[in-house]
Amino acid sequence: MTLPRTRVPAPARPYDVALGPALDAVRGTVSGAGARLLDEVSVARTAGVLAELVRDPRRPLHELLDGLEAFRLAHPDRRLATVLARAWAEPGSAQEELLAFAAGCPGGDDEIARLGFGPKLWFTTNGVPVAWRPLPGPGAAGGRVGGDRPAAALAALCSAGLSPAEVAHLTLADLGRLAPGAVFVPDLLADPLTVRHRPDGAAPRLAFVPAAGRIAVLSVVLPRYGPDGACRYPRERVLDVPRA
């Protein structure tokens, strides 16, 4: 299914997060190049978003830092501050940077998606809109899931940190992406695929489906699309899992 191109809007105000308390919760889980990246305010802001909105931010934090370090090393200037300044001055340049990064990535689609998570989230939380869509790779059309598709989708959602009971309460409107301001936007085709869930009736939290699991989730939700890519039944449950 081909969706129409989305116009790239102008940069917005970066997400406002209390960097001190948020970073205290995650800084001790990283070292080396990742720890050095956290010294940059823009990266600390993104890590703070994860610490604030994700129940267990350790996996997405490491994927954020891995992807950003690969993105930084692949850039001719090797300075994230320069890339961000240009993105603010020239709307649309961020998407060009992502496409160039994907073109130079030696891995396959899953590796491109895994490494692309970091720069996409970093741009977004710093107020720069980018397309949360798969970056072009050797097999950009995506993979296929055989066998028990609901079971594979359940495993993918649980690998994002949700329990089967939490998956049981998810609706199609709970699958989406982040927009600048860390605003959740329902979007079934998002990459990385973001899940909004409400643990034990608490405030909504976010989880990110690992790159390898996104296709498994799409295999059970794409049949519910209309011809224009719009979700027909946003309140329908993602999976038919018995509720606790």
What's the pLDDT tens digit per position in 192-207? Answer: 999 999 877 678 899 9
Nearest-CA neighbor of 233 among 153, 149, 164, 174?
Answer: 174
Residues forming a β-bridge with 83: none
Residues forming a β-bridge with 176: 186, 194
Better-predicted residue by pLDDT, 203 or 14? 203
**CA-to-CA distance for 89 and 75, rounded, in angstroms?**
18
- Tell me the average pLDDT across 40-61: 90
pLDDT at 152 over 60: yes
**CA-to-CA distance for 127 and 15, rounded, in angstroms?**
7
What's the pLDDT score for residue 90?
92
**CA-to-CA distance for 241 and 208, rounded, in angstroms?**
20
What's the pLDDT score for residue 19?
54
Sheet bearing 205-208, strands edge to edge: 183-186, 175-179, 194-197, 205-208
Hunting for tokens 């993918």 — which residue is that? 156
Token readout for 225 is: 């699309």
Q: What is the pTM of this model?
A: 0.86
Judge whether 212 and 117 are in contact, CB under 8 Å.
no
**CA-to-CA distance for 59 and 82, rounded, in angstroms?**
27
